[in-house]
Structure 1
Amino acid sequence: MSFNIALTGLAAAQKDLDTTANNIANVNTTGFKESRAEFASVYASSVFSAGKTKNGDGVQTTMVAQQFHQGSLNFTQNSLDLAITGEGYFAMSEELGSQDFTYSRAGAFKLNKDNFIVDAQGNFLQGFPVDPSTGDTTSVSLSTSAALQIPDASGSPRATTNVYTSFNLDSRVTAPTLAFDPTVSASYNSSTSTTIYDSLGEPHTLQMYFVKEDPATNPNQWQVYATLGGQLVGPAGDGSVAGPITEFEFDSNGNPASTGDPGVPVSGPTFDPFNIPAGAGAGLSTLLTNGATFPSNIQMNWRDEANTKPPTQFASRFEVKALEQDGATTGRLAGIDIGSDGKIVASYSNGDSTYLGQVAMVRFSNSQGLQQVGNTGWKKSLTSGEPIAGEPGSGTLGTINSSALEQSNVNLTNELVDLISAQRNFQANSRALEVNSTLQQNILQIR
């Protein structure tokens, strides 16, 4: 009997050594969770046995239990490196559209050739759908989740429909004596320009010129001229009639007083807008190629988009306070940002940004029941329960840290101590086995 007891001790010590060695081997494995060998005594009894004299029958391994406490974070320069601080897991699928998920804490992700977010094994990171404009999550369920993809272009270009500009015109300058000519700088006081876009995303330069009128006849009044692609934009909006597109009048405090015809009061805190009808009359359509079009109107608004900076005429240098437009060409991916709530925002070279999705997270009622499948992944089991999906930051799921990786939660110092302890246990049980063998030999030698 003592021989068998020693054998169970050897087996238990070996399991302890194996578990500790595996922990040490994975001390640098991202997202790895250490394990602990757990043991229980073996005790055989019956109604006829004398309990006070039973010594037990050895030891057995009850389970190798993973320890899911948080690992420390290692910060990186890769925005696709994700670390979870909490009890959640990433959901991964081996194939697009598959509902057979693997769950992981290893967040070292990258883009594959089709711009899907994948791990080192090519498994697809799952995400919840969101509204691309607001980022609102539309569904929190693994059944509606999909592989997250980062488009490298921002989609269709946008034709410009609004231009916003605000400025300060220098009241100290003198009125030009020459007739306006955009090629003669002495014929205007100041100018500025912006780029606008047609329906195909082709850029066109919109240039604005500001000409002070004779203060003896028209005090505090300015004329505004414009060219689009080098062609004059006249008061009719198309260049068919030469002349300024509008006139500004300021009061004695340098604030807007009227617009259009002198003496017409301003209806708001700034000048009334001016509309350029697309392609009308004298040749704005000649700027367009390959079937491109402008919108029905391009509205020039003499203010900033937020309507907080009206034009002014102060005794200070010409200054452009705002110059914005709402068109865009096709953009290329410039960067991505992943927030603590797991929402992915892509920014593009044309200034656009859009929400692409939200990293899906799950938790389990019993993480100890998860089945290990290698590559720092787990599968659900009967004892783990079904995955409970949720948004990052909700409940005990935890938040997501971009540009960070969760390190192994193995404490190397403790493992080395455990290794020495397991080794001594193994040696002690080997000695007990050796003693039993010696006793048997002595018994056999009795004559």
Structure 2
Amino acid sequence: MSFQQALSGLNAASKNLDVIGNNVANANTVGFKASRAEFADVYASTVMGTFSNNIGIGTKLNAVSQIFTQGAISVTSNPFDVAISGEGFFRMDNNGSIVYSRNGQFHLDANGYLVNANGLRLTGYAADENGNINAAAPQPLRLTVSSIEARGTTEVVQGAVLDSRSPVIDRATTPFDPNDSTTYTHATSIAIYDSLGNTHTLSTFYVKRGPGEWDVYTALNGTTTPDPDDPSLPSVHTLFFDAAGKIDLDKTDSRGVFNVRVDGATLGTGATDLEFEYNLVATSQTGQAFSNELQRQNGYTSGRLTSFTIDENGVLKANYSNQQSRAQGQIVLVSFVNPQGLVPAGGNNFLETMLSGTPRLGVPGSSNFGTVVSGALEDANVDLTAELVNMITAQRVYQANAQSIKTQDSVMQTLVNMR
């Protein structure tokens, strides 16, 4: 029986060395998860069952389990490299079949798909032409490298702080003139865009007409915008403020939001009519110097693609030369109730099984899912120091079992030599 025990020990130590050797060999494999050999003792079964004085007949390899601990994250120079920090697997499309991986070494193929070294496509949620993510069903992520078209301004928001100490300018004696600074109290400007992406300067003039009463005039490229009802007159809107300096929407023209329209023919660019909503609700009046606290508009000129970025929530954004960015998709992650039940499929991929449970989809940063780090990769979680110590231990176990065979052989030789 000692021969059988020692032989099983030799086999077990050999298997253990195989597992350790595989871990060491993959110490530089991105996203690799180390394995460990798990053993069980073996007892001979009898008709009468087992008793407390039974002697085992050796050991056997019970399982080789993956260790899904977090690997260190290393920074790379590839913006498409992605590391998962926390729980989750990448969902990869292998010609219609789905596999899972922690290897985030991705690049664009000739068709614009994000793929790994084996050509498997990374899946996620697609985005529409306006950058809105459609979280209906995951599909292979495809990036477009086309330029972004110009967008004409449709909204301008202005939030100035007007100086209540400024002197009143009488309408009758001092009519407004954009070229005469004595006819207005404050002025500011912002760049806006027509339908072709051409830049125009929108100037806003504030004229104090009385306590808590201000007229607002606008001019485009130095020319006062006309009144929609009488183009011979400049367009003017009156703002009223309460004792606290807040805008009084009940008295203020159009409740602080009015439309500005400029005939396209006067733009001189071939663009369509420029019409936008001008929001002055955030304007206030205080006893301090004039300041422009809030100013924004939603138009932009055309732009060419300059780069791609991936944020911690897995949103892939295309960045353009006009300082705009637009989402082109979002990476999805997958988690399992029992990751130990996954089956290695080679190429740093895993397959789901009945033991792993069904995959649960989610986006990076959501409940129970880790975040992603772009321009970085997850190293193998192999501890080389520990593996080398385990290798020495396994070697000694192998030698000890070999010694058991040698000792048993010596005992048998003694018996054979007895006369």
TM-score w.r.t. structure 2 length?
Answer: 0.75
Once the two structures are aligned, what percentage of the paired residues are identical?
A: 32
Q: Determine whether 1:172 maps to 2:166.
A: yes
Separation in structure 2 between the aligned mates of residue 124 and residue 149 of structure 1, nearest angstrom: 9
Q: Please give the secondary structure, in 2, of the residue aligned with 1:127.
A: strand
Q: What's 1:378 paired with?
A: 350
Separation in structure 1 between the aligned mates of residue 127 and residue 377 of structure 2, nearest angstrom: 25
Q: What's 1:63 paired with?
A: 63
**Matched AA of 2:395:** Q
- Which structure 1 segments of 5+ residues have no match? none
Separation in structure 2 between the aligned mates of residue 208 and residue 50 of structure 1, nearest angstrom: 96
Q: What's 2:234 paired with?
A: 244
- Whether contact under 8 Å (2:130, 2:326) holds in the other structure is yes
**TM alignment of 1:11-410, pairs within 5 A:** 11-42=11-42, 57-68=57-68, 70-74=69-73, 76=75, 81-86=82-87, 88-94=88-94, 98-109=95-106, 116-129=113-126, 138-139=135-136, 144-151=137-144, 155-170=148-163, 171-172=165-166, 189-210=185-206, 224-236=216-228, 241=232, 243-246=233-236, 248=238, 265-266=251-252, 270=256, 273-279=258-264, 283-284=265-266, 286-289=267-270, 292-294=271-273, 297-301=275-279, 303=280, 307=281, 309-312=282-285, 316-331=288-303, 332=305, 336=309, 338-339=311-312, 342=314, 356-364=328-336, 366-381=338-353, 383-384=354-355, 387-392=358-363, 398-403=369-374, 406-410=378-382
Q: Please give the per-residue CA displacement for 1:266-319, whole angstroms capped at 9, x wherever unaligned.
A: 35764x62431433xxx42x4233xx3135x33333x1xxx3x2353x554332
- Whether contact under 8 Å (2:238, 2:252) holds in the other structure is no
- Structure 1 residue 423: deviation in Å? 0.8
Separation in structure 2 between the aligned mates of residue 54 and residue 225 of structure 1, nearest angstrom: 102
Q: Please give the per-residue CA displacement for 1:55-89, whole angstroms capped at 9, x wherever unaligned.
A: 65544323322233x22553748685331523x32
- Structure 1 residue 399: deviation in Å? 2.8
- Structure 1 residue 445: deviation in Å? 8.1
Separation in structure 2 between the aligned mates of residue 411 and residue 147 of structure 1, nearest angstrom: 34
Structure 1 vs Structure 2 CA RMSD: 4.7
- Structure 1 residue 182: deviation in Å? 5.0
Q: Please give the per-residue CA displacement for 1:1-34, whole angstroms capped at 9, x wherever unaligned.
A: 6555544332221111121222233345443222
Question: What is the number of equivalent residue pairs in this alignment?
Answer: 412
Q: Please give the per-residue CA displacement for 1:313-334, whole angstroms capped at 9, x wherever unaligned.
A: x554332233222323345466
- Whether contact under 8 Å (1:237, 1:276) holds in the other structure is no
Distance change (3 Å), C-alpha of 1:384 and 1:363: farther
- Whether contact under 8 Å (1:153, 1:348) holds in the other structure is no
- Structure 1 residue 378: deviation in Å? 1.2
- Range with greater deviation from structure 2 (174-183 or 146-155): 174-183
- Whether contact under 8 Å (1:256, 1:269) holds in the other structure is no
Q: Please give the secondary structure, in 2, of the residue aligned with 1:416.
A: helix
Distance change (3 Å), C-alpha of 1:352 and 1:52: closer
Distance change (3 Å), C-alpha of 1:366 and 1:161: closer
Q: Please give the per-residue CA displacement for 1:89-111, whole angstroms capped at 9, x wherever unaligned.
A: 221124xxx32122112345455
Q: Please give the secondary structure, in 2, of the residue aligned with 1:157.
A: coil
Q: Please give the secondary structure, in 2, of the residue aligned with 1:276.
A: strand
**Matched AA of 1:172:** S
**Matched AA of 1:64:** V
- Which structure 2 segments of 5+ residues have no match? none
Distance change (3 Å), C-alpha of 1:436 and 1:207: same
- Structure 1 residue 246: deviation in Å? 1.1
Distance change (3 Å), C-alpha of 1:201 and 1:386: farther
- Whether contact under 8 Å (2:72, 2:381) holds in the other structure is no
Separation in structure 1 between the aligned mates of residue 129 and residue 258 of structure 2, nearest angstrom: 31
The structure that is strand-richer by fraction is 2
- Structure 1 residue 138: deviation in Å? 3.7
- Whether contact under 8 Å (1:360, 1:389) holds in the other structure is no
Distance change (3 Å), C-alpha of 1:165 and 1:430: same
Distance change (3 Å), C-alpha of 1:234 and 1:397: closer
Separation in structure 1 between the aligned mates of residue 393 and residue 412 of structure 2, nearest angstrom: 29
- Structure 1 residue 153: deviation in Å? 6.2
Q: What's 1:10 paired with?
A: 10
